[in-house]
């Protein structure tokens, strides 16, 4: 009888220990960040105000394939200066092309809804965060084009980071640093391809708190406010998922030289702005 009692006690102890181990493992919680593209979201300017298409310009809402970011940060309030908030992510950089630049070969490129970032919540400072900052670096999207009088579809790779190092890894024989606004385009049927550089400081980067927390010229740090501040208390029992909803509302803009209201690079239309037109961050706990 004593042996039976002892055996039962050992079984209960092992079972309890196993459950404890499983519970401990399950208690680790994470912050996940994902992207969303919204063509109906408000189209904003650099100050986060409604933006309208200037005369002589054409624009369209592209269909996004994928995206990458260089930097993510949670900001406590409108007075938090860039990099003084809680930095969540900083992509690899290199000087292989001369000046410091984003290393595109090491950039993480994701599709809509795919997890871009996953970090333990215990690594994030506790506090209340009103804003999200995202430095976008790469966009890949489908656009409508006019070529030799016919409407076609093509894919445009847009590099909107402050500086990006390429090493023949985009399908084009391009090696070296490319400043914000560099782009590559190829028609889906491979009939036509071209590349170019948008003007300096022409890329729209919405920042509704620019008056109190500006960003450097030539960067692509888009800022958005949470509807309700994100509270991190260090006692979270569940994951927190942040969704970064980006406005693609007529985010591809060109100087209209072909006078046909179509993007027609073969007739002199010039890419001028590929900046996302707003950020609305939200979260689910």
Report which secondary-structure segment, H or E, holds 19.
helix 2-26
The residue-averaged pLDDT of 194-200 equals 95
The residue-averaged pLDDT of 12-22 equals 45
3-class SS string, 190-246: CCCEEEEECCCCCCCCCCCCCCCCCCCCCCCEEEEEEEEEEEECCCCCCCEEEEEEE
Domain chopping of the chain, boundaries: 27-284
Whole-number Å distance between alpha carbons of 70 and 133: 11
**pLDDT value at residue 27:** 83
Cα atoms in the Cβ-side hemisphere of radius 13 Å centred on 27? 9
Token pair listed for 208: 């509704």
Whether 194 shows a pLDDT value over 50: the answer reads yes
pLDDT band (50, 70, 90) for residue 20: very low
C-beta of residue 142 within 8 angstroms of C-beta of residue 154: yes
Whole-number Å distance between alpha carbons of 141 and 131: 27
3-state secondary structure of 143: strand
- What digits encode the pLDDT tens for the residues 30-44? 999 999 999 999 999
- DSSP lists the bridge partners of residue 101 as 94
User: Which of these, 182, 174, 134, 178, lies nearest to 158 by C-alpha position?
Assistant: 182
pLDDT band (50, 70, 90) for residue 26: low
The residue-averaged pLDDT of 14-29 equals 55
**pLDDT value at residue 191:** 86
Which of 10-24, 130-144, 252-266 is least confident?
A: 10-24
pLDDT band (50, 70, 90) for residue 259: confident
Whole-number Å distance between alpha carbons of 177 and 138: 14
Whether 23 shows a pLDDT value over 90: the answer reads no
- What digits encode the pLDDT tens for the residues 44-66? 999 999 999 999 999 999 999 99
Whether 1 shows a pLDDT value over 60: the answer reads no
**pLDDT value at residue 73:** 98
Whole-number Å distance between alpha carbons of 206 and 43: 9
Q: Does residue 202 or residue 2 have the better pLDDT?
A: 202
Q: Does residue 159 or residue 25 have the better pLDDT?
A: 159
């Amino acid at each position: 009888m004593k042996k039976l009692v002892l055996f039962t006690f050992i079984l209960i102890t092992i079972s309890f220990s196993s459950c404890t181990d499983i519970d401990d493992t399950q208690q680790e919680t994470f912050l996940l960040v994902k992207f969303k593209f919204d063509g109906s979201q408000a189209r904003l300017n650099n100050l986060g105000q409604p933006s309208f298409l200037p005369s002589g310009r054409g624009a369209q809402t592209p269909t996004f394939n994928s995206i990458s970011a260089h930097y993510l940060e949670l900001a406590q309030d409108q007075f938090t200066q860039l990099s003084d908030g809680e930095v969540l992510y900083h992509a690899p950089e290199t000087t292989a092309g001369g000046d410091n630049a984003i290393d595109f070969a090491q950039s993480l490129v994701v599709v809509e809804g795919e997890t871009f970032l996953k970090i333990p919540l215990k690594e994030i400072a506790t506090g209340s965060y009103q804003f999200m900052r995202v430095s976008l670096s790469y966009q890949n999207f489908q656009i409508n084009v006019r070529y030799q009088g016919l409407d076609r579809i093509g894919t445009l790779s847009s590099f909107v980071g402050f500086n990006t190092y390429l090493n023949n890894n985009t399908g084009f024989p391009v090696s070296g640093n490319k400043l914000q606004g560099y782009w590559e385009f190829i028609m889906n049927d491979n009939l036509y391809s071209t590349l170019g550089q948008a003007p300096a400081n022409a890329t729209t980067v919405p920042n509704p708190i620019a008056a109190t927390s500006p960003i450097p010229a030539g960067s692509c740090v888009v800022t958005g406010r949470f509807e309700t501040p994100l509270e991190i208390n260090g006692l979270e029992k569940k994951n927190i998922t942040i969704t970064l909803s980006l406005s693609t509302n007529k985010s591809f803009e060109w100087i209209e030289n072909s006078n046909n209201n179509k993007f027609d690079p073969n007739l002199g239309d010039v890419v001028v702005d590929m900046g996302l037109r707003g950020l609305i961050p939200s979260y689910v706990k």
